[in-house]
């Protein structure tokens, strides 16, 4: 009886825990079993009403190949892990000592076959090849075919774009010639190889590409090359994949380094798209998070919309950014060495700095709903390192929240934390019992969603 009611409680709680269908960029995302999703360098395959998310499994924190995972969803929010789509084969270019990155899968209608393309490399990235594998079902497992240099030239970061013409012509988008030139080559009708180059953007140093087509214009989204560290990702456009690429333009305010992320895949959503990026954590790769944001064309050009918490209506092709309640850090109670910082870059012109090493700030009268809520911490680190901050609700145990390197200037980013606030007033203390310095705290936004 006690056991039965515990089970009932557990079910009720898990329903509640999944009640808010929201995307929270930068949070630790879990699958339907509660395990952290390992699907970095994402590729999405749409089959009818189902989505399949392929990516790199980095649970062991290594950059070497362990598996291409496959997750299934009908709403892009609830992901069920399937069998691994591709696993290592020792003695080939996809052994456990090699690199398999950025897996992308297309359906080939002519052969009724799923074809996976990926960046295939050796452990020092000197092979610079593409790899191909095929399967009869979306998650396979896939049978590895080969790795090679397309048209005899380097290929590192890559993606595949399938056009909407009658033959569903597909293209390989890839960083070539030691990452200096960016190339687009056309695939054969089986999607097994490339046959000819379509176009090239020379001397550009691009990687992490994806293409979205809007009103007959192709938009290439790509980052520049700075290793695992983020940079301002760009867009380029053309009316033909065979010529005439525009010059580069930012998809987000430059100083944010694409909100500390790198493009992996861009999925159309109505008149707009979903930017699916990686927030790489190079020293603990498996804790790298996913930054999915609306990529909005309402200005006529693709621009990322920062959203702490957001949702989409897949049928309508629309998205909604959640609004919450803002509490300014400078309105809190400071203790220890904590100090008010004044700068127009901060919301309200002020932030609280010197948190940690004894310095704390407590925000009082923070209204909660008792249901578990997302809270976004807006911060600036003031230097080029990662920091973290402890968070304690009503004097309870602390949780630690990572704060990515904001680049040294007064660049403000936000990171999410799920807090159990009681209904009515709460006190939230930052940096209590912390023996390192936390980021400077500008404000927090408390959302109703959890």
Q: Residue from 38, 392, 414, 426 that binds ligand NAG (CB under 6 A)?
A: 392
Burial class (CB in 10 A: 0-12, 13-18, 19+), 381: buried
Binders in 27-56 for ligand NAG, by CB under 6 A? none
- Contact status: 410 vs ligand NAG (CB under 6 A): no
Nearer to ligand NAG, 74 or 240 (CB): 240
- Scan residues 228-247 and list those touching ligand NAG (CB under 6 A): 239-240, 243-244
Q: Candidates 50-58, 223-231, 372-380, 394-402: pick the segment binding ligand NAG (CB under 6 A).
A: 394-402
Given a contact cutoff of 8 angstroms between Cβ atoms, the answer to whether 98 and 64 are in contact is: yes
Select the residue interacting with ligand NAG from 124, 165, 215, 283 (CB under 6 A): 165
CA distance 177 to 149: 11
For residue 450 the two structure tokens come to 């959890």
Counting Cα atoms < 13 Å in the Cβ hemisphere of 207 gives 25
Residue 414 binds ligand NAG, judged by CB under 6 A: no
DSSP 15: H
**E strand or H helix that includes residue 161:** strand 158-162
SS3 11: helix
Q: Which is nearer to ligand NAG, 78 or 240 (CB)?
A: 240
* Residue 433 binding ligand NAG, by CB under 6 A: yes
DSSP per-residue letters across 348-416:
GGEEEE--BTTBEEEEEEEEE-SS-EEEEEEEE-SSSS-EEEEEEETT--EEEEEE----SSS--EEEE
Figure out which of the listed residues 29, 63, 125, 148 binds ligand NAG, where binding follows CB under 6 A.
Answer: 148
Residues 6+ apart with CB under 8 A from 178: 128, 154
| Residues counted in the chain | 450
CB 289 within 8 A of CB 28: yes
Cα separation, 113 vs 107, in Å, equals 6
| Residue 35: CB minimum distance to ligand NAG, A | 21
Q: How far is the CB of 225 from ligand NAG (least distance, A)?
A: 26
- Between residues 74 and 436, which has the closer beta carbon with respect to ligand NAG? 436
Q: Which of 328, 388, 406, 449 binds ligand NAG (CB under 6 A)?
A: 388
d(CA 135, CA 327): 52
3-state secondary structure 306-367: CCCCEEEECCCCEEEECCCEEEEHHHCEEECCCEEEECCCCHHHEEEECCECCEEEEEEEEE
φ, ψ of residue 4 to 5 degrees: the values are -60, -40
Residue 7 or residue 400: which is nearer to ligand NAG going by CB? 400
Contacts for 391 with CB less than 8 Å, ≥ 6 apart: 377, 398, 399, 400, 401, 417, 419, 428, 429, 430
Tokens 């953007």 appear where? 201
- Binding track over 334-363 against ligand NAG, x by CB under 6 A: ------x-x---------------------
Rounded least distance, CB 362 to ligand NAG, Å: 11
Q: Which is nearer to ligand NAG, 208 or 380 (CB)?
A: 380
**Residue among 167 and 344 whose Cβ is closer to ligand NAG:** 167
Q: What minimum distance in Å lies between the beta carbon of 334 and ligand NAG? A: 12
Task: Return the number of the residue (178 or 342) whose C-beta is nearest ligand NAG.
Answer: 342
Using the rule CB under 6 A, which residue among 83, 96, 325, 365 binds ligand NAG?
96
# binding residues, ligand NAG (CB under 6 A): 25
Q: Pick between residue 53 and residue 219 the one whose CB is nearest to ligand NAG.
A: 219
Q: Which residue in 17, 59, 146, 197 binds ligand NAG (CB under 6 A)?
A: 146
Interacting residues toward ligand NAG by CB under 6 A: 90, 96, 146, 148, 151, 165-167, 193, 239-240, 243-244, 340, 342, 387-388, 392, 395, 397-398, 400, 432-433, 436
């Amino acid at each position: 009886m006690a056991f039965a009611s515990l089970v009932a409680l557990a079910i009720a709680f898990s329903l509640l825990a999944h009640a808010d269908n929201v995307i929270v960029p930068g949070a630790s995302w879990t699958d339907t079993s509660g395990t952290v999703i390992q699907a970095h360098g994402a590729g999405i395959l749409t089959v009818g009403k189902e989505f399949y998310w392929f990516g790199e499994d980095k649970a062991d924190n290594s950059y070497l190949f362990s598996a291409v995972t496959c997750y299934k969803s009908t709403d892009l929010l609830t992901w069920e892990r399937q069998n691994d789509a591709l696993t290592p084969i020792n003695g080939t270019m996809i052994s456990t000592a090699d690199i398999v990155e950025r897996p992308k899968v297309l359906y080939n209608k002519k052969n009724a076959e799923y074809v996976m393309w990926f960046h295939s490399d050796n452990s020092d990235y000197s092979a610079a090849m593409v790899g191909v594998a095929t399967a009869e079902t979306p998650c396979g497992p896939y049978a590895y075919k080969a790795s090679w240099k397309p048209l005899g030239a380097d290929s590192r970061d890559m993606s595949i774009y399938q056009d909407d013409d009658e033959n569903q012509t597909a293209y390989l988008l890839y960083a070539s010639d030691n990452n200096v030139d960016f190339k687009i080559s056309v695939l054969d009708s089986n999607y097994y190889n490339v046959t000819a180059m379509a176009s090239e953007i020379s001397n550009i140093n691009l990687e992490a590409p994806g293409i979205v087509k809007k009103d007959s214009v192709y938009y290439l989204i790509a980052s520049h090359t700075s290793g695992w560290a983020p940079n301002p990702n760009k867009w380029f456009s053309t009316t033909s994949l065979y010529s005439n690429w525009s010059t580069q333009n930012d998809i987000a305010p430059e100083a944010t380094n694409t909100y500390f992320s790198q493009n992996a895949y861009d999925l159309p959503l109505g008149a707009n798209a979903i930017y699916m990026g990686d927030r790489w954590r190079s020293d603990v790769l498996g804790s790298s998070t996913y930054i999915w944001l609306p990529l909005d064309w309402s200005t006529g050009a693709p621009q990322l919309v920062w959203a702490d918490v957001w949702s989409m209506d897949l049928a309508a092709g629309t998205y909604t950014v959640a609004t919450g309640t803002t509490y300014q850090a400078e309105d809190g109670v400071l203790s220890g060495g904590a100090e008010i910082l004044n700068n127009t870059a901060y919301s309200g012109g002020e932030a609280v700095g010197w948190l940690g090493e004894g310095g704390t700030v407590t925000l009082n009268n923070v209204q909660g709903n008792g249901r578990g809520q997302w809270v976004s911490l807006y911060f600036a680190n003031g230097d080029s390192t990662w920091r973290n901050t402890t968070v304690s609700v009503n004097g309870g145990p602390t949780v630690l929240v990572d704060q990515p390197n904001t680049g040294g200037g007064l660049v403000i980013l936000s990171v999410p934390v799920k807090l159990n606030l009681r209904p009515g007033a709460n006190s939230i203390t930052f940096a209590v019992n912390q023996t390192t310095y936390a980021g400077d705290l500008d404000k927090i936004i408390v959302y109703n969603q959890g």
